[in-house]
Amino acid sequence: MGDASPARPTIAGRLIVVVGPSGAGKDTLMSYAAQHLKERPEVVFVRRVITRDGGSGGEDHDAVSDAEFRRMAQSGGFTVWWEAHGLCYGIPIETRHQIDLGHVVVANGSRAALPHFSAAFPAMTVINVTARPEVLATRLELRGRETRDEILQRLQRSSPQLVGPYELLTIDNSGSIEEAGQAMVDALTRYLPAFSCR
């Protein structure tokens, strides 16, 4: 009897949750990474379900009504869901299947919802996108919703410590998009297998 073929290595999937304060540029860096990793089908960017008008700008998402969101949540349609700023956000249940297949799944999350994420996904990494306070203030001021003083006061109040049973990486997005975007790409590709069979 010949020698048995070597066992194929098990590829463990992982959830990457991207968090950070308003103005840090999470969506921009995720879009940069998605563009640069579009030839890597094992990297999956989650399309969130949000109770927000699909034409309101911002991230590309599935827009649903409050009633539809509640129906999806009650029927087990989400692995994680949370409320923030008067809206509901959901991570579709299909995310778990993608991770079971060994994919690196990237989701735009919330710092306040991290306990829910870590309970649902033991293999999880958090990427905390930050920027210097004056940079955040300038970006938020351009939105025209608050004065600069109000923004600076809010930023001082909204810097929670991220501590939990997960790996934590920090990307400073105070400088160029290219520099921080490459840091995001590098952070994601470190979890991909070193080889692929073609």
Which residues participate in the annotated binding site?
20-27
Contact indicator for 126, 167 with CB cutoff of 8 Å: yes
Going by C-alpha positions, the residue among 112, 151, 142 that lies closest to residue 20 is 112
Phi, psi of 144 (to 5 degrees): 75, 20
Q: Strand pairing partners for 19?
A: 128
Measured CA to CA in angstroms, residue 158 lies from 25, 62, 115, 129 at distances of 16, 27, 17, 14
Binding-site positions for ATP: 20-27
Going by C-alpha positions, the residue among 88, 115, 117, 89 that lies closest to residue 15 is 117
Going by C-alpha positions, the residue among 65, 60, 96 that lies closest to residue 78 is 96
Contact indicator for 164, 115 with CB cutoff of 8 Å: yes
Three-class secondary structure of residue 124 per DSSP: strand
